[in-house]
Amino acid sequence: MYESYYEIIKKLDENSHLRNIKDFSSKDEKYIYFDDKRFLNLSSNNYLGFADSKSITREFLDSEGDKYSFGSASARLLTGTLPIYRELEELIAVLFCKSATLLFNSGYHANVGINSSLAARGDVIFSDKLNHASIIDGMKLSEGKFFRYPHNDMEALERLLIRERKNFNNAVIVSESVFSMDGDIADICRLVELKNKYNCILVLDEAHAFGVFGKKGLGVCETLGLINEVDLIIGTFGKAIGSMGAFATGNKVLIDYLINKARSFIFSTALPPINVAFSKWIIENKLPDTFEKRKYMLELGRKLNSESHIIPVVIGENQKTVEMCDILYQNGYFTLPIRPPTVPVGTSRIRLSLTTEIQQKDLVKLMEILKCNITG
């Protein structure tokens, strides 16, 4: 009965492609504990160290924790909305100078819901080839048509727009700002130019930039002064903010449309109130004090030849990537092999993810190991 599934798993294993869930004993800011050993954690999205901080957790619980429950027990459109949800949505809207915001349960929920609903029959989406799987899944669920342009290739995107835009009603351009597996940054200035020239809606996923880039931590759009030029900005609370959930902020018409059409929002039980409160508390009380730490983290990333705090070490073959992770593991570094379909075939890599707690001195040995084993 399960023979075909067994064969698939066996083949994945034979090709160094099999994934498994690891049972960590604990995490403590920049360290992770596994098999009774401590490792520098270079595979985390906990960019500001909030998620694992015992002092942060205690401070929040002492000041706010007893006000909120651990479950909502309902979807937002039923009985799942309390004042704290509106307060967080209004806070995000004010920060981004947008007219409305909508919370989602995760970045995946946001991208699936938005990209499956914004483009109806007769509409079209133009998507960067390396956009996150959640964006791709949303497009596949859409009744509209979609085209994927070569990564960050604005000339190719414009050629697509010239050829196809006239054939559709609404058109959406969607891109990440900081690409999660490459650490590079989209050409947002050019995306804005093209969206205006060809009458498109621009959707930008700032999941890995929100809480990291910008004076206020609002993302790459803040750094470039382009917040007002982007129709819909998506951010997550599950990375730099150290909480759970995501948001979309933009024009009220688009937010009202998503409330009525985004199935991942409509049919999901709402986030726990205590998580919503924690996200709001972090953004108001802790994020404003992180600028210097974030600046150092991004400068360290640039020293390691990345445009951001995400440093890809492309190795190529699955087995060699797994072996490299094992060598780093033996030397006190926890990294994970990133393999297809997360990245294109032949580009398996180690994704080094910096946090504000990691210092340059922590990486000296790691860089020596990589240099010796990859470049020979």
Among candidate residues 140, 149, 217, the one with its CA nearest the CA of residue 187: 149
Amino acid 376: pLDDT: 47
Three-state SS for 316? Answer: strand
Q: Range(s) for CATH 3.90.1150.10 in the chain?
A: 23-48+290-375
Amino acid 375: pLDDT: 55
Q: Which CATH architecture has domain 62-287?
A: 3-Layer(aba) Sandwich (3.40)
Q: Range(s) for CATH 3.40.640.10 in the chain?
A: 62-287
Per-residue pLDDT of the chain (376 residues; tens, 9 = 90+): 899 998 999 999 888 888 888 888 898 889 999 888 999 999 999 999 999 899 999 999 999 878 999 999 999 999 999 999 999 999 999 999 999 999 999 999 999 999 999 999 999 999 999 999 999 999 999 999 999 999 999 999 999 999 999 999 999 999 999 999 999 999 999 999 999 999 999 999 999 999 999 999 999 999 999 999 999 999 999 999 999 999 999 999 999 999 999 999 999 999 999 999 999 999 999 999 999 999 999 999 999 999 999 999 999 999 999 999 999 999 999 999 999 888 888 999 999 999 999 999 999 999 999 988 765 4
What CATH number has the domain spanning 23-48+290-375?
3.90.1150.10
Amino acid 100: pLDDT: 98
Between 107-117 and 252-261, two packed helices, what is the crossing angle to 10 degrees?
A: 100
Amino acid at 309: H
Round to whole Å and give the CA distance between 167 and 245.
Answer: 36
Instruction: Name the H helices within 80-236.
Output: 83-96, 107-117, 133-141, 154-164, 188-197, 220-224
In which residue are the tokens 């499956």 written? 116
In terms of C-beta distances under 8 Å and separation of at least 24 residues, what long-range contacts does 293-302 make, across chains too? 293/48, 293/356, 294/48, 294/212, 294/213, 294/217, 294/356, 296/356, 297/47, 297/212, 297/354, 297/355, 297/356, 297/358, 298/212, 298/213, 300/354, 300/358, 300/359, 300/360, 300/363, 301/183, 301/354
Amino acid at 342: T
Tens of pLDDT, residue by residue over 354-373, are: 999 999 999 999 999 998 87
